[in-house]
Amino acid sequence: MSVDTVSLTGWGRTAPTTAVRFSPRTHEEAAAAVRGRGPRGVIARGLGRSPGDAAQNAGGSVLDLTGLARIGGVDAAGAVRCDAGVSLERLLRVLLPLGWLPPVVPGTGRVTVGGAIGSDLSGLDHRHSGSFARHVSALELLTADGEVRTVLPGTALFDATAGGLGLTGVILGATLRLRRVATALMSVSTERAEDLDDLLARFTAGGDRLPYASAWIDLMARGRATGRGILTRGEHATPDMRPAHAGRTLLSPRSGGARGRFRLPGCPPVPGGLFGPASAALYNEVRYRGAPRARTGELRPVGAFFHAADAFPDASLLYGRGGLVRYRFAVGHGQEETLHRVVRRIAARRSPAVRAVLQRFGAADPGGLSFAAPGWSLALDLPAALPGLGRFLDDVDEEVAAAGGRVCLAKDSRMRPEAAAAMYPGLADFRELRARLDPTEAFRSDLARRLGL
């Protein structure tokens, strides 16, 4: 097991802190690192794709689990056991040629299985499938005493671990229930919406005929066009939909990955950020006008549909030396006016937002700190160095909380502890369970200290 001292940030590159990093290759090495932790505790870390500080531990230890990356065989019931350090991108690449898909596919493949469970990530079909942990039939959890427990759904420990951000223990592996697919293609529908009302109406008008849905919102548009966007929906293509020249199965690894990746190897952050208000507005205008008014039946590879953002893995560098803040919030059905107000406030502020994704959630997930709940979710990226950004988002937090909504903890890098307590009514029970399981607070993170989790 290698050990070194490193400065770490989340993917947003804000608030770097220094920790001792342990990189175990076996469960025994991981257990030894937990038993030998220092007074500042330890937190698990995967690929570092959390935008905030959930996988940082200032002055303490960080357990890098990417060395635990074994994938077992798929059994007759469509279940697979894999290590926590396996990336969803690799899992997709291995499973797709066999006719299987991970149970929930989020917007990036550069997340580990352990991270997907610890954050209880949602996909584009949350209304149908719920979030990631709902499809875990068992997980192996390394607890504060250095022992490995098998934890099953329906238990308090499982519910606290799903979305618990690594604070109940280190997830070492899990058994996932998979989804059978016939091809490696998606049949995709795209349409433009003139404003936010039009966009919400189009979201609901189609019902659930196409299970996967998300929309990009132009947060630079104002006036009558405020909240305009592009709605994208999809379903798994069947063999009869495939092009005649595509071969017999269309279940090839090449069909599963994002195409046309654009990399910036060794590229430093653009000092002031690539996007100012004018350039962001121009980019959004071109993107909106370049989308079809309505198109159905377009075939795309599975990976290109789900992980289009992975074509730009260094996109955080475009937000300037200060990095980016990813702000994701959710409000319930009947609270659409809150969504309207937030969108109008961002548009009026002329903040250079080029990434903004709207999704519709289904039933709440069992995790005490899980983010998804019935209603609407909006995620956006903003340059961290924007003047007055902290105060502005604090005000939005209050508005979201007053509407019974919540901000996603797994993405957060700046929320105040009182806001988190107001948004997550299960937080008190989570703290109580954590205190019983881990009275010495073996598992700690910068996020946990900042929010008093």
Mean pLDDT of 426-439: 93
C-alpha closest to that of 37 among 47, 24, 48, 26:
24
Mean pLDDT of 385-410: 96
pLDDT in tens, 154-198: 999 999 999 999 999 999 999 999 999 999 999 999 999 999 999
DSSP string covering 266-329: TPPPPTT-S--HHHHHHHHHHHHHHS-SEEEEEEEEHHHHH-GGGG-TTGGGGG-TT-EEEEEE
pLDDT band at 250 (very low <50, low <70, confident <90, very high): low
Q: What is the pLDDT of residue 278?
A: 87
Q: Helix or strand or coil: residue 42?
A: strand
Token representation of residue 305: 């549909």
pLDDT top residue among 37 and 21: 21
pLDDT in tens, 289-343: 999 999 999 999 999 999 988 776 566 667 767 889 999 999 999 999 999 999 9
pLDDT band at 372 (very low <50, low <70, confident <90, very high): very high
Residues 6+ apart with CB under 8 A from 286: none
The mean-pLDDT minimum among 101-105, 120-124, 184-188, 273-277 falls in: 273-277
Report how far residue 360's alpha carbon sits from residue 373's, in angstroms, rounded to the nearest whole number.
9
Average pLDDT, the chain: 90
Neighbours of 334 (CB within 10 A): 11
Neighbours of 262 (CB within 10 A): 9
Mean pLDDT of 240-261: 56
pLDDT band at 265 (very low <50, low <70, confident <90, very high): very low
Q: How far is CA 371 from each of CA 34, 45, 121, rounded to the nearest angstrom?
A: 28, 20, 8
Q: What is the pLDDT of residue 339?
A: 97
347 contacts 226 by C-beta, under 8 angstroms: yes
- Dihedral sign, Cα of residue 11, residue 16, residue 22, residue 28: negative
- Dihedral sign, Cα of residue 244, residue 247, residue 249, residue 250: negative
Q: How far is CA 35 from each of CA 31, 44, 142, 271, rounded to the nearest angstrom?
A: 6, 14, 10, 42
